[in-house]
Structure 1
Amino acid sequence: MSGSNSSAPGSAASSSPEPLSFAVHSLPDPRSATRQRAGRWKMLLLLALCAAPVVASYFTFYVIKPSGSAYGELIVPTVEIPADLPLTDLQGRPVSAASLHGQWLLTVVQPAACGEACERQLYVQRQLREMLGKNRDRVDKLWLIGQDEPAPRPELLAALSQKGVEVTVLRVPRERLAAWLKPAAGKALSDHFFLVDPMGRWMLRAPADPDPKKLKGDLDKLLKASAGWDNPGR
């Protein structure tokens, strides 16, 4: 009917507007970021505490030197054993360089035939370790021979053993060894004792034909300085 105010159902006039709604998303919690930063600082502090004894021991020995200068020659910077240094035992089995980590290594480089001078050095090596007393279990004896040399005489190896502690004998190519250990000017590798730390770093070279008591003094200082982080055995 004309003039009627009624509207058809469903028409635009009969529908009422929907109210607007707002979705509020949660904002980042500032406390979470603070906790993350605190966690990172705690981790860094823990790493610093773990490294501090190592750093302090080397700083003491190399920089402060409370007992005077070393008898042997300190190697600065230290020289890490090459990870790919080809080592084999007396049975020809490969030995990884990393397996030498974890102990101080009192090292000699001598031929397997081992004459009088070689035998004297190996006996001094054995005695030096024994002179360290309660710290001797932190030191291993290492004898490096040429790659193609036969095994040393069994009676010599037996004589070098003491209280069940044998000298570790490994073969290595001499030209590859020269990339790690070096003699003093005018000397040969066989003239020296080489001291390697538990992290596999060559750090001291003894004079040729050293005074055992003076060399022991160097060993005592190093073992004392590293007592906070170095334990016997690997």
Structure 2
Amino acid sequence: MSTQTPRSPQAGSDTAPLRAAGSPMRPDGAAASARRGSRWTFWLIALICAAPIAISYFAYYVIKPKGGSTSYGTLIEPQRPIPDALTVTGDDGQTIPLSSLRGHWLMISVDGGACGEPCATKLYFMRQVRATQGAERERVETLWLRTDDAPVAQVLKTAYPDTRMLRADPAALVQWLPAAQAMKDTDHIYLVDPNGNLMMRFPAHPDPSKIKGDVTKLLKWSRIG
């Protein structure tokens, strides 16, 4: 009986041996997996970097722990934009919209031109809070909105050369600036953000170190203005 020698498998034939188990993945599959891994790594790093900023805003504007808000000043909710019709007049007689001063953090005091002791105290506090911001102080502008035509004493002009002293309609200011219960707008210092939104009111007879704390945090957390 004759025997036949088994033929070696032909290249490309159906009998070619299967790839051994555990052989490497196809190159295109490995590249796709690597790309997916890189994307996940990128988003994880971005999340880690953004988390402190997001948490700080959430803590300042949203969380209100027992005992009150995290801020010393009272947050104005909802925010009140500067009314388009609200104008102010300088000693040079030029009248401009108050909204044209947007772009800085505005600390505002309202009083008559005679400016008694409470008025002078507010001007002093605003000047000191601004000065203590160091290099960031240029982002803050202090305003005295005067409610009458009484002349400003030269001693005040000399003491507060960086405070803009502008006349405004007192009725329009009352409509825009909310006062605490049993208080008037002349009792408070107000803070307007660089977008022109009234956002905070400080109490009558305030603690300037606590005002400084609020302003410092806002300047630190916000890059606007």
TM-score by length of 1: 0.67
| Shift, 1:124, TM fit | 1.1
What runs of 5+ residues in structure 2 fail to find an aligned partner? Answer: 1-49
Give the 3-state SS of the residue equivalent to 1:179 in structure 2. Answer: helix
Q: Write the distance in 2 (CA, Å) between the matches of 1:124 and 1:92.
A: 27
1:70 aligns with 2:76: no
Contact 1:88 1:95 in 2 (8 A): yes
| Shift, 1:91, TM fit | 2.2
Paired amino acid for 2:73: G
Q: Write the distance in 1 (CA, Å) between the matches of 2:204 and 2:151.
A: 25
1:151 aligns with 2:151: yes
Q: Write the distance in 1 (CA, Å) between the matches of 2:70 and 2:113.
A: 34
Q: How does 1:24-39 map to 2 (within 5 A)?
A: none
Q: Write the distance in 2 (CA, Å) between the matches of 1:107 and 1:84.
A: 18
Paired amino acid for 2:171: E
1:172 aligns with 2:173: no
Per-residue CA deviations over 1:65-124 (Å, capped at 9, x if unaligned) read 79x611110011100010111321122211122311000001100111011221111111
| Shift, 1:126, TM fit | 0.6
* Matched residues, number: 170
Runs of 4+ aligned residues of structure 1 deviating over 4 Å after TM superposition are: 55-60
Q: Write the distance in 2 (CA, Å) between the matches of 1:93 and 1:122.
A: 23
Q: How does 1:1-234 map to 2 (within 5 A)?
A: 59=58, 61-64=60-63, 69-146=70-147, 148-161=148-161, 166-227=162-223, 230-231=224-225
Give the 3-state SS of the residue equivalent to 2:76 in structure 1. Answer: strand
Paired amino acid for 1:102: G
Query: RCO (CA 8 Å, sep 6+): is it higher in 1 or 2?
Result: 1
Contact 1:194 1:204 in 2 (8 A): yes
Paired amino acid for 2:157: L
Paired amino acid for 2:220: K
Per-residue CA deviations over 1:38-89 (Å, capped at 9, x if unaligned) read xxxxxxxxxxxxxx9xx968655312579x6111100111000101113211
Per-residue CA deviations over 1:110-158 (Å, capped at 9, x if unaligned) read 1110112211111111111111112111100000011x41331122111
Deviates more, 1:148-157 or 1:209-218: 148-157
Q: CA-atom RMSD, angstroms?
A: 2.2
Give the 3-state SS of the residue equivalent to 2:210 in structure 1. Answer: helix
Q: Write the distance in 2 (CA, Å) between the matches of 1:82 and 1:61.
A: 26
Contact 2:112 2:150 in 1 (8 A): no
Q: Write the distance in 2 (CA, Å) between the matches of 1:177 and 1:195.
A: 14
Q: Write the distance in 1 (CA, Å) between the matches of 2:173 and 2:70.
A: 28
